[in-house]
Amino acid sequence: MVYAFNEESAFRQELSLLVLLVPIAFFLPVSHLEKAILISALILVLVVELLNSSVEAAIDRISFEHHDLSKRAKDFGSAAVMLALLIAALLWLTVCIPIVFNL
């Protein structure tokens, strides 16, 4: 994880998001299960980002030449990160909107 922090700006951004939102999750007036789900969603983003970085590193290790399959693998990894971010956003919005609007 130290290498990912030092070398991957996306990982640092997502880790910053986790550092910012975890304390907020602890202070939200929700159940322990909801807090665990909110924090787990953020951790899921980091896990998927690490897997994406692994795929990219392996592909770059094999060859820097442009190849359609390499591009596809990198695009799929990026799409997986985007989906993990969407899941996290959906969960946070689902929990926070009723609190903000007193629903």
Check if 56 is active-site.
no
Active-site option among 7, 34, 49, 56: 49
CA distances from 50 to 25, 30, 67, 68 (A): 23, 29, 22, 22
- Residues ≥6 apart with Cβ < 8 Å to 56: 74, 77
Active site positions, annotated: 49
